[in-house]
Amino acid sequence: MKQTTKNILGVAAIVLLSSGVAGLTAYKMLQKNMPADSTAAFSDMFQQNPNVRLASYNAVDAQPVDLTQAAENSVHAVVHIRSTQTSKVQEVEVRDPFSDFFGEFFGGRGGTQRRQVQTPERTGFGSGVIISKDGYIVTNNHVIAGADEISVTLNDNRQLKGRIIGTDEVTDLALIKIEGDDFPTIPVGDSDALKVGEWVLAVGNPFNLTSTVTAGIVSAKARSLGMGQQTGTESIESYIQTDAAINQGNSGGALVNARGELVGINSVLSSPTGAYAGYGFAIPTSIMTKVIADLKQYGTVQRALLGIRGGSIGSSLMDDRQPIDKSGKTLADKAKELGVVEGVWVSEIVENGSAAGADIKVDDVIIGVDNKKVSNMADLQEALAKHRPGDKVKVKLMRDKKEKTVEVTLKNEQGTTKIVKDAGMEILGAAFKELPDDLKKQLNLGYGLQVTGVSSGKMSDAGVRKGFIILKANDQPMRKVSDLEEVMKAAVKSPNQVLFLTGVFPSGKRGYFAVDLTQE
């Protein structure tokens, strides 16, 4: 039986090989009998664009790309980051479940009660990339957001304490520092030079198991995921998309090209399960380099804005049937009307912004910035993220179906070209504490922050004195010191840069102050 099987398989193999030879011979015989113009007829069916370039490829010499050196260069500079939020006592509002019921029958007022609760200690994990031998580390903002303590574990298992130098929620980047010298680093490469289909490595330290490496290719560039819309916050997105496996804990890790250069910071995982089952997204170094330089030098990002509102006219939004104006037009309709297939449509010019001082108008379509093609909003955001207020850029746009180039001087959120410094609470020159219960009862107040001391600074300049109780800052109720810090940071970024305080003195006298937050 075994011998029979072998014979049958042998015959089958011969038949297959023979049929291949016969087929080739038959084709050549047919070819001899074909009319002379038959091959021309075939070529006419597949008319090729003469500008198409084929990749340089030799099937004989081709070997799999060697990523070992790139991996060896990278693993030692990728660290594990543990961020800890310590347990705290917080005051929270708790709704009285019986307030509505009894209020309906007895005319009482429903409402909420304030209670103190002990929050549990929270721990988060992520990765980071050492970018300088003196211990500066880039990671994601969401890895260390709200952290009271940061622990950094190197690939050789050394553990060091980290401190935050600066954070930027808009790009989800952060810069931290560990003390020491001669740390291993990854050289920073040019993410603009990356091509779709190029091999990349995702290097992370997700589970504190020392650095791990996965490989894949660049699947797409300038991807926007709408993270800002989901979270309700401002967001700059122009991600590198890759199919290299990126799991939870890889956030803040390195995306490395085949030369071993850092080209991105791994940030987002697109997965239905939370584990790797899709694509990973990395912040390109074209954005990272400038953001991190700002955080190191100024403590905050010097963000340049074009001062427009609009939307992408590209393939990703052409099927969007949501109306963009009262006439019911969609972006697809607008694209046909303007005679463009991609770019950023300008729907509004922001007052006192960069575009308002240049020759940019509503219904213009931006198609380039400084010789960089702009196909969508992500491209535009990436191009602007490299610049600081005061920089001049050349904006290429389409107007009335004609191409035009205008020069624009970029401005910041305040509509100026001045450097914005990190505004910590120290610029106020005052100390604060939450209003004690006995004073609340005495003055019949539900909340407030009391000024416990005033030295030289913005509060003193505005006339605020020790003992003043702040009830509202820029119309926001002040219950905790962190409330004042949040409102102040937002005010520093506003055009007016003023903190309007309303409150009361312990004597019962009302007080109103305008605190100028501008910095020379």
> What residues are annotated to the active site?
142, 172, 251
Other Cβ atoms within 10 Å of 490 Cβ, number: 13
Spatial separation of the C-alpha atoms in residues 125 and 250, rounded to whole Å: 9
Spatial separation of the C-alpha atoms in residues 278 and 246, rounded to whole Å: 9
Nearest to 202 by CA among 219, 187, 220, 214: 214
Task: State which H helix or E strand residue 441 sits in.
Answer: helix 437-443
Spatial separation of the C-alpha atoms in residues 382 and 360, rounded to whole Å: 19
Strand 239-242 versus strand 254-257 pairing type = unpaired
Taking phi over 0 as left and psi of -120 to 50 as alpha, with beta for the rest, 37 belongs to alpha
**Percent helix, strand, coil in the chain (nearest 5)?**
25, 30, 45
Spatial separation of the C-alpha atoms in residues 423 and 493, rounded to whole Å: 10
Triad 512, 518, 520: Cα angle to 5°: 145
Question: Rg of the chain's alpha carbons, rounded to an integer?
Answer: 31
Q: Are 449 and 499 contacting, i.e. CB atoms less than 8 angstroms apart? A: no
Spatial separation of the C-alpha atoms in residues 237 and 385, rounded to whole Å: 10
Q: Which residue has the tokens 């070209």?
A: 417
Spatial separation of the C-alpha atoms in residues 345 and 327, rounded to whole Å: 17
Strand 365-369 versus strand 372-373 pairing type = antiparallel
What does the chain come to in residues? 520
DSSP at 147: -
Contacts of 367 (CB under 8 A, 6+ apart): 340, 342, 343, 373, 374, 396, 397, 398, 403
Spatial separation of the C-alpha atoms in residues 206 and 125, rounded to whole Å: 7
Contacts of 125 (CB under 8 A, 6+ apart): 80, 81, 82, 83, 143, 206, 207, 208, 249
Spatial separation of the C-alpha atoms in residues 137 and 292, rounded to whole Å: 10
What is the dihedral sign for C-alpha 162, 167, 171, 172?
A: positive
Structure tokens at 174: 């952060």
